[in-house]
Amino acid sequence: DTEVTQTPKHLVMGMTNKKSLKCEQHMGHRAMYWYKQKAKKPPELMFVYSYEKLSINESVPSRFSPECPNSSLLNLHLHALQPEDSALYLCASSQVMRQGAYGSTDTQYFGPGTRLTVL
């Protein structure tokens, strides 16, 4: 089972709203990721959690706030977003973030994404 779930599928919000995106996996993966993807572009890494600790923040504006309540859940809290933040937000997970030996344990499995529109 390589399933990562995300809710909601679609979200429309105003610039003054506060909303949250949720991601869940039950594969025992210890690394979880948030990506942002604009149309016809590759995914852009936003945040990485490794063993429930934030290990990478790719200079993301503070209006995006990640949270990892436990090893299965990852949230992205949104506040005061701009229209240019409209995109597909993807969650991914992998067994571990760093692996010393050859293997595919760093393969990232993606959730279906949340299509966010900021008005």
Q: In the complex with another protein, which residue's Cβ is closer, 18 or 57?
A: 57
Q: Which of 24, 87, 108, 118 forms a contact with another protein (CB under 8 A)? A: 108
- Shortest approach of another protein to residue 65 CB, angstroms? 21
> How many residues are recorded in the chain?
119
What is the spatial distance between Cα 52 and Cα 73, in angstroms, rounded to a whole number? 9
Q: Where are the alpha helices (DSSP H) in the chain?
A: none
Q: Around Cβ 43, how many Cβ atoms within 10 Å?
A: 19
Q: Determine the interface stretch with another protein among 19-27, 59-67, 76-84, 92-100 (rule: CB under 8 A).
A: 92-100
Q: Give the contact letters, 40-59, x = binds to another protein (CB under 8 A), - = no.
A: xxxx-x----------x---
Helix then strand count (H, E) for the chain reads 0, 11
Q: In the complex with another protein, which residue's Cβ is closer, 15 or 45?
A: 45
Site for another protein contains 2 (CB under 8 A): yes
What is the spatial distance between Cα 38 and Cα 44, in angstroms, rounded to a whole number? 9
